[in-house]
C-alpha cells in the first residue's frame, strides 16, 4: 500500500466511486451508440439484398471469372517472355 491510501482511506474510496460512476456513464453512452447502430444495420442489409437479383450476381461472377482468366493468361505470357529473355542473356 502506498502512503496516500493508508493515510486517507475515505479519499481513495471516493476516487474509486467516482471512477465507477464515470465507467457506468461511458458504458451507457457506448450501449446507446451500439443499439442505435444495430437498429439501422439490418434495414440497410435487406435493402442491399433486394437491389441485386440473382441474374446480376451471376453476371458479376461471370465477369470476375473472365477478368481472372485474362489476368492469368497475361501472367503466363509475361513469364514465358521473361524466360526467353533469360535464355537470350545466357543465364
The owner of cell 481472372 is: 68
Give how far the C-alpha of residue 71 lies from the chain's centroid of Cα atoms, to the nearest Å: 27
- Check: pTM over 0.75? Answer yes or no: no
What stretches in the chain show pLDDT beneath 70? 1-52, 91
| Nine cell digits for residue 83 | 524466360
Task: Determine the Cα–Cα distance for residues 7 and 5; give it in Å rounded to an integer.
Answer: 6
Contact 12, 4 (CB under 8 A): yes
Amino acid at each position: 500500500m502506498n502512503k496516500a491510501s493508508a493515510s486517507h482511506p475515505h479519499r481513495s474510496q471516493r476516487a474509486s466511486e467516482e471512477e465507477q460512476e464515470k465507467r457506468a456513464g461511458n458504458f451507457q453512452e457506448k450501449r446507446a451508440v451500439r443499439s442505435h447502430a444495430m437498429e439501422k444495420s439490418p434495414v440497410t442489409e435487406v435493402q442491399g439484398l433486394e437491389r441485386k437479383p440473382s441474374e446480376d450476381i451471376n453476371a458479376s461472377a461471370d465477369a470476375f471469372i473472365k477478368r481472372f482468366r485474362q489476368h492469368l493468361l497475361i501472367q503466363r505470357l509475361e513469364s514465358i517472355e521473361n524466360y526467353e529473355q533469360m535464355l537470350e542473356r545466357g543465364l
